[in-house]
Amino acid sequence: MSHFSRKIPKGDSREREVCEDCGYIAYENPKIVAGAVVSHEGQILLCRRAIEPRSGFWTLPAGYLELHEQPEEGARREVREEACAEVVLEGLIGIYTVSRLSQVQMFFRARFAGGPAFGAGEETLEARLFAWEDIPWAEIAFPSVTWTLELWRAGLDGMTDLARFSKKV
């Protein structure tokens, strides 16, 4: 079994896990989250989480990208897994860097591919369409969900001015 130790590799500026036997460097990189604001006739699809963290709270369908998966593919897959829905993406809403969690979160604007067919996936207690005034704001799971919904409502598109619509927290 290989033996790793923390040190600064030659030509690098950060301490990393390095194999003492072969010199392999085990880089640790942020996790990428992709999700979507799925809307239908002014209502927004939210999912009540069945898993931790924040089980029982409402969120947008979103989750970690898989290896070799594009963010757009990941957002569509997460909607399918969490809300049993097929969607068409219509643009990027925002990108958030959550440094304390080593996450980069990307949210897209989306609509149902066909009618508003959806349900609760394995990680979801229930899925519902909410009018803006009926969103359970006190039960929203994560700050990035609130920020994304606000940008969605304002009709902003993250591709217009990336610096303006990106947020580091």
Please write the tens of the pLDDT for every residue from 98-120.
999 999 999 999 999 999 999 99
Please give the Cα distance from 57 to 35 (Å, whole number).
Answer: 16
pLDDT tens digits for 1-40? 789 999 999 999 999 999 999 999 999 999 999 999 999 9
The residues spanned by each domain of the chain are 31-168
CATH T-level assignment (fold) for domain 31-168: Nucleoside Triphosphate Pyrophosphohydrolase (3.90.79)
So what's the pLDDT on residue 159?
45
Q: What is the DSSP string of 109-140?
A: EEEESSS------TTEEEEEEE-GGG--GGGB
Structure tokens at 52: 């931790």
So what's the pLDDT on residue 167?
60
Predicted TM-score of the model (pTM): 0.86
Please give the Cα distance from 156 to 148 (Å, whole number).
Answer: 10
